[in-house]
Amino acid sequence: MASPDGGRGPVALVTGANRGTGLAIARELHGRGYRVAALNRTPSGESWMHERICDLADPAAVDAALEEVLSGFGRLDACVTNAVARAFAPIAELDVADWDESVAVNLTSVFRVVQATLPYLRRSGGSYVIMGSHAGTRFFEGGVAYSATKAALKALVETLLLEERVHGVRATLVSPGAIANLDGDDTPYKMATESVARCVGALVQDQPADLVVGDVEIRPARLPDPQISGIARLQHV
């Protein structure tokens, strides 16, 4: 199968790139010269993005989408897993279906994406950027599904780095605090999606040859008002 656009040059895969941080990351990589493929649950409407509509909670759909993207381009130079399911409720009240979806999207789909793309990243000496969260280390009431799955990514990325560094593959866990992900959100104590995307772009393209950045925590430059509590404050400390 020929490359979807018949083009040449590096290829990046981004999951959850239809809006917010994922879309900003895709735009940043596109601006850096990458052809960008995306696994999105809903379309972005961006003509430059090679989208495969895919529910990342469905393992068979993930495998089929990856096969199409990888066989279509025939190469991969960077992979950013950004898609996320957010379900918040106390343990006593959390719907089991919400727990299962969180595990499927936030953790299992990352594993499947990494496993399928590894042969391509080995060939290109490419980079993984796995988007975590401050919630992976800063736990809060009602956040068990989100925090547990984000915390597990630390083990996945560290193991990936230990196993694949010998093959020239880099892996970085990026754990952000609060991001202004929703359109029109100009909250002063949240990071702009474009700022987060610049960080990711630098990790993908600008790391010196003699080092690898394994774990990055990024925080908003400003703190929220003292009366703010819960996850909003925990992700700013």
Report the run of H or E that residue 36 belongs to, with start and end: strand 35-40
- Residue 116 and residue 66: Cα distance in Å, rounded? 7
Active site residues: 146
* DSSP string computed for 150-182: HHHHHHHHHHHHHHHGGGT-EEEEEEE--B--S
Beta bridge partner(s), residue 176: 218
- Residue 75 and residue 119: Cα distance in Å, rounded? 9
Phi/psi of residue 15, nearest 5 degrees: -100, 145
